[in-house]
Structure 1
Amino acid sequence: MNGESSWDEPYAYWLANVPGIGNRMKRKLSAYGKSAREVYEMPEKELMQFLSAPKLEKMVRERRRWDVEGEYRKLQEEGVNFVSLLETSYPEKLAAIEDAPFGLYFYGRLPSKSVPSVAIIGARECSEYGRYMAGLWGSQLAQEGVALISGMARGIDSIGQRAALEAGGNSYAVLGCGTDICYPAENRKIYERMKTQGGILSEYSPGTGPKPQLFPPRNRIISGLSDVVVIIEAREKSGTLITADMALEQGKEVYVLPGRATDRLSEGCNRLIKQGAGLMLSVSEMLEETGLREKKRRWEEELSGTEADEGEKGHTKLEKCLDFYPKSIEQLQEESGMEYREIICRLMNLCMDGEVKQVSAGFYQKAGKYDIRI
């Protein structure tokens, strides 16, 4: 593998799996050491500045038993992508939250910072009205070019995601288990579809089974990846309200579907409205109020303007830097002198034209002219 991110990835994968050390400390250690490999090679005396004796013991034990290259190779063989906070391809919206996961495992793609994203969440045991609104808004958001974020749970979450996919949009599921486990199993169809129309993400390593204690922490990732959180039906003490609280702490907008005062499924939503949450009456109105429609319009204009201004010049500039061995986005940025967003847009177009292929998270290479099969 080539490029510093590629060189460092196996060590970032190791650091992500050191038990007993939180995301903030892993981030702090990496910033101090400048790379995950330097953390791995850091003398125990130096690590003592940051870690208590029990935590230091755990890290040292993991260093001794962990086959860094071998374990990372196994992950690649399983077809699971991995990205750490140390890489520029890590979702920018998520990196901005206080307790961002140090590492993310995923199938498909990662959400783009330039594309507006909305989470639709709510009751598992929802009413027919709730089902209808989740489907309607999921479809309308997809038609507006907004990415849908959710947890693929039964009820409102998966209904909204299914509607977005059926409308031709992109959706991303954040799981409370490993990405290789479809939970709940009944959502297998949308799970598989999201691998090509979005992505499946988790902070938990492959093989981690769904456990009750893993679901509340994953909610911070759902809200962290979203510009706006929309709640459709939630009881007074619903787990959905945990996500609403996390979204508010992260400075995100929260909108809710109002309901009848006598309806238990609307108790949580009505309470949030009383506390100042936005009133969700239509997708169009919400997009205007939050400025997401304007944000999308500006991004599309910027993309269009970049294509018009640069034309073949920008295309050729990037092509000259690409090769038949993988290069990271940082390498391409350094070699071409192009802006990060401009490179992403160009790479997307080149991938769609079949001239370039993405070989792993943040790494691209030229595509061969022929697909030779034996």
Structure 2
Amino acid sequence: MNKQEMWGCIATAPKMYFTKIQKIMKNLKDVQEIFNGTQKKLVEAGGLKSEEAAELLRHIERFNPKEYFEKLEKNNIKFVSVDDENYPEKLIPFDHKPYFLFYKGKLPDENATAVAMVGARACSNYGRNMAKKIGKELSERGVQVISGMARGVDTYSQLGAIEGGMSTYAVIGSGVDICYPVENIELYGDIINNGGIISEYPPGSSPEGWHFPQRNRIISGLADKIVVIEARENSGSLITVEWALEQGGDVMAVPGRVDDKLSQGCNRLIKSGAGIVTNVDDILSDLGYNAYYEQKKEKAKEKILEKDFLMLYSELGLQPKSIYELIETTGIVYEKIVTMLLKLQLEGLIEQPYENYFSIKNT
């Protein structure tokens, strides 16, 4: 078995929870040593009792990697391990990173900014409206929204993100083949089509209560910033904040009324130094990010650089060329090329340093 298959085997072994794997791997060089090890060696590595080590070795003997990965593929489920090239780079620095992930759709784009949005499940109308509005506006400006698809703030932030058109990702506390809560089945499908559903729990895993606090470290780890919208004083959403702070991440919060219990957690975060969110520009400014104008420019560029535009644009460089030279190399007639050059100038893609000479705009 290769390392991906080995991790697939470990992922499906009974009761091989993250904490057990972490204890074992702290004393082993890599996953290969588990497969080369004996019952005694696995117990000595820590994390497993004697019978647990024996059960793991029996599971390794029974595991059929070809059959298992074919089953995953048949169900449109992908698998990535910490030893794979496409494992999320943002998670790599953390000691508590998951050793493997299952996902439907795709993983977050490492080159795009990502913001995690979390908050109360039993949120107010204010919380729902703010979550959807901020999620949509972040998405419209090219920011990936990451959440957990839970009821309340998670749901509305991801509904907004889908409306905004950018990818959104849900890190869930069950297998990726299980939609929880069930009423989010439509959202579940939309997230897969627009981004991805991610979990460290193998397909078929039920949404156990202890899964959710653990999955929060993945939500915060994948994000460049955490935004909290409505959280009680002891809200589960604050677990994500704790993970973010441990990971060195930045936290922001939407303020609420001082007498509203749903806002006590957010207001305390702000009092303790978290950034305050009154609109989406607060988040983008804190990120030093001006994606809106960059995205707008890229879309304009893609729209006009088609067919003849692409040919004309490709003939231009930093060294100015005359309009007559461009007519000769492109074969575009004078009347048309004049209009095209004007449009390229208006879009800010080229400039005319002197009459009838054109070059790519040097930004």
TM bucket by the smaller chain? Answer: 0.7 to 0.9
- The answer on 1:249 being equivalent to 2:282 is no
Shift in Å, 1:47? 4.6
Tell me which residue corresponds to 2:22: 24
Matches within 5 A, 1:63-82: 63-82=60-79
Tell me which residue corresponds to 1:149: 146
Letter in 1 for 2:10: L
- The answer on 1:9 being equivalent to 2:7 is no
Tell me which residue corresponds to 1:89: 86
Shift in Å, 1:94? 1.9
- Percent identity, aligned pairs only, is 41
Shift in Å, 1:293? 3.9
Shift in Å, 1:117? 0.4
Instruction: Check the 8 A contact 1:23/1:101 in 2, yes or no.
Output: no
- The answer on 1:61 being equivalent to 2:58 is yes
Shift in Å, 1:135? 1.1
Tell me which residue corresponds to 2:287: 290
Letter in 2 for 1:272: L
Give the whole-Å Cα distance in 2 for the aligned partners of 1:68 and 1:200.
23
Letter in 1 for 2:156: I
Give the whole-Å Cα distance in 2 for the aligned partners of 1:71 and 1:59.
17
Q: Secondary structure at the match of 1:107?
A: strand
Give the whole-Å Cα distance in 1 for the aligned partners of 2:12 and 2:214.
16
- The answer on 1:174 being equivalent to 2:171 is yes
Deviation track 1:257-311 (CA, whole Å, cap 9, x = no partner) reads 11111111111111111211111122222222233448x969x99xx9xxxxxx9
Matches within 5 A, 1:107-186: 107-186=104-183
Shift in Å, 1:27? 4.8
Give the whole-Å Cα distance in 2 for the aligned partners of 1:12 and 1:28.
16
- The answer on 1:240 being equivalent to 2:244 is no
Give the whole-Å Cα distance in 2 for the aligned partners of 1:193 and 1:23.
33
Q: Could you list the runs of 5+ residues in structure 2 that have no partner in the other structure?
A: 302-309, 311-363
Letter in 1 for 2:137: Q
Instruction: Check the 8 A contact 1:20/1:58 in 2, yes or no.
Output: no
From the superposition, tell whether residues 23 and 38 of structure 1 become closer, same or farther in structure 2 (CA, over 3 Å).
Answer: closer
From the superposition, tell whether residues 251 and 297 of structure 1 become closer, same or farther in structure 2 (CA, over 3 Å).
Answer: farther
Tell me which residue corresponds to 2:101: 104
CA RMSD after TM alignment:
2.8
Q: Which moved more, 1:36-45 or 1:90-99?
A: 36-45
Shift in Å, 1:49? 5.3
After TM superposition, the score normalised by the length of structure 2 is 0.74
Letter in 2 for 1:274: K
Identify the match of residue 208 of structure 1 among 205, 209, 224. 205
- The answer on 1:279 being equivalent to 2:292 is no
Instruction: Check the 8 A contact 1:108/1:198 in 2, yes or no.
Output: yes
From the superposition, tell whether residues 46 and 26 of structure 1 become closer, same or farther in structure 2 (CA, over 3 Å).
Answer: closer
- The answer on 1:264 being equivalent to 2:254 is no
Give the whole-Å Cα distance in 2 for the aligned partners of 1:252 and 1:129.
26
Tell me which residue corresponds to 1:40: 35
Instruction: Check the 8 A contact 2:173/2:211 in 1, yes or no.
Output: yes
Give the whole-Å Cα distance in 1 for the aligned partners of 2:289 and 2:245.
17
Give the whole-Å Cα distance in 2 for the aligned partners of 1:178 and 1:283.
32
Q: Could you list the runs of 5+ residues in structure 1 that have no partner in the other structure?
A: 1-5, 305-310, 312-374
Deviation track 1:328-359 (CA, whole Å, cap 9, x = no partner) reads xxxxxxxxxxxxxxxxxxxxxxxxxxxxxxxx
After TM superposition, the score normalised by the length of structure 1 is 0.72
Tell me which residue corresponds to 2:304: none
Q: Secondary structure at the match of 1:212?
A: coil
From the superposition, tell whether residues 146 and 231 of structure 1 become closer, same or farther in structure 2 (CA, over 3 Å).
Answer: same
More relative contact order, 1 or 2 (CA 8 Å, 6+ apart): 1
Instruction: Check the 8 A contact 2:230/2:262 in 1, yes or no.
Output: yes
Shift in Å, 1:28? 4.6
Letter in 2 for 1:61: R
Instruction: Check the 8 A contact 1:23/1:99 in 2, yes or no.
Output: no
Give the whole-Å Cα distance in 2 for the aligned partners of 1:221 and 1:84.
14
Tell me which residue corresponds to 2:219: 222
Letter in 2 for 1:10: E
Give the whole-Å Cα distance in 2 for the aligned partners of 1:199 and 1:46.
38
